[in-house]
């Protein structure tokens, strides 16, 4: 496979994972800052181990499904997932709902952790470990689903998609370790907008393939679908931002 064929899969996995990793990093930072780094790392490690088990169990199970059924199933899931992100990004872009604020989430998490009584079992703080475990597992499940889903067309794509996700995780870890603060400057809504467009495009493409649609231009149709979705989403921001016209003005 060439880089041109791999680029949409790798970039979708990378960008989507970047958003999820930033959210997981905020929780781990909050736990580490308030309750100690040992519990934060133990919780994170346990969650990563659980994710590996999940992927190892689900990956081969998915490959047992007939290709067309798998494309349809994954396509519809990706479509629902991508459109959900896109809807939220459009409404945030239009100022209808507030932007995601990592600083505020960090403050809220640290406040909750400070309230809980400190205890110790097996050398770690159970509340802190569970908080880090839950945060990393929940965001990680989304990453695992995305990696499996964007690669659903071909098992050959699972490796490159996983590499994209791993690159995002490494990048966020380095940044979080370096600045020791929530990564509030990451333009999360712009990322969600881009990822929503990409994932929705994959969703429409795979759903169509699963229905038996032979897209004009084959894989290149994916780019065309993404361009249409991007244009429509920008239009959506304008439409959602525009105040409703009063009846008399019509």
Partner 1 sequence: MGTLRAILHEIIGLFVDDGSLALALVVWCALVGLLMLVVSGVTMAAAGAALLAGCVGILLVNVVAAARKRRGAGP
Q: For residues 199-228, which are near partner 1 according to CB under 8 A?
A: 200, 204, 207-208, 211-216, 221, 225, 228
Length of the chain, in residues? 250
Task: Collapse the DSSP code of 11 into the 3-class scheme (helix H, G, I; strand E, B; otherwise coil) and give the result.
Answer: helix
Part of the chain binding partner 1 (CB under 8 A), chosen from 26-34, 89-97, 107-115, 161-169 = 89-97
Contact by Cβ (8 Å): 157, 9: yes
Q: How far is the CB of 43 from partner 1 (least distance, A)?
A: 11
CB closer to partner 1 out of 178 and 249: 249
Q: For residues 117-176, which are near partner 1 according to CB under 8 A?
A: 130, 133-134, 137-138, 141-142, 145
Which stretches of 151-220 are DSSP H helices? 158-179, 188-211
Q: How many residues bind partner 1 (CB under 8 A)?
A: 46
Q: In the 8-state DSSP scheme, what is residue 248?
A: G
For residue 85, CA distances in Å to 82, 135, 199 come to: 5, 19, 9
For helices 3-35 and 102-115, angle between their N-to-C axes, nearest 10 degrees: 40
54-75 in b/e form (b: 16+ CB < 10 A) is bbeeebeebeeeeeeebbbbbb
- Distance between CA atoms of residues 139 and 18, nearest Å: 10
CB closer to partner 1 out of 175 and 240: 240
CB closer to partner 1 out of 36 and 208: 208
> Does the footprint of partner 1 cover residue 116 (CB under 8 A)?
no
Q: How far is the CB of 91 from partner 1 (least distance, A)?
A: 6
Q: Token pair of 220, please?
A: 């290149």
CB closer to partner 1 out of 66 and 243: 243
Q: Binding residues for partner 1, per CB under 8 A?
A: 76-77, 79-81, 83-84, 86-88, 90-91, 94, 96-97, 130, 133-134, 137-138, 141-142, 145, 200, 204, 207-208, 211-216, 221, 225, 228-229, 232-233, 235-236, 239-241, 243-244
């Amino acid at each position: 496979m060439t880089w041109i064929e791999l680029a949409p899969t790798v970039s979708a996995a990378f960008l989507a994972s970047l958003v999820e990793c930033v959210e997981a990093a905020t929780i781990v930072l909050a736990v580490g800052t308030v309750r100690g780094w040992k519990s934060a790392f133990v919780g994170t490690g346990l969650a990563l181990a659980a994710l590996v088990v999940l992927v190892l169990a689900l990956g081969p199970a998915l490959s047992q499904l007939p290709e067309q059924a798998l494309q349809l199933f994954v396509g519809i899931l990706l479509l629902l997932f991508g459109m959900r992100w896109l809807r939220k990004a459009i409404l945030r872009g239009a100022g209808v709902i507030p932007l995601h604020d990592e600083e505020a989430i960090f403050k809220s998490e640290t406040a909750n952790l400070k309230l809980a009584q400190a205890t110790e079992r097996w050398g770690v703080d159970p509340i802190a470990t569970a908080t880090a475990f839950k945060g990393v597992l929940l965001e990680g499940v989304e990453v695992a689903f995305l990696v499996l889903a964007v690669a659903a067309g071909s098992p050959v794509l699972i490796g490159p998609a996983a590499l994209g996700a791993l690159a995002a995780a490494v990048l966020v870890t380095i940044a979080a370790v370096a600045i020791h603060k929530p990564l509030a400057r990451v333009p999360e809504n712009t990322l969600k907008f881009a990822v929503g467009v990409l994932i929705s495009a994959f969703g429409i493409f795979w759903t169509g393939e699963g229905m038996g649609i032979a897209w004009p231009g084959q894989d290149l149709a994916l780019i065309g679908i993404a361009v249409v979705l991007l244009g429509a989403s920008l239009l959506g921001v304008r439409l959602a931002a525009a105040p409703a016209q009063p009846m008399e003005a019509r």
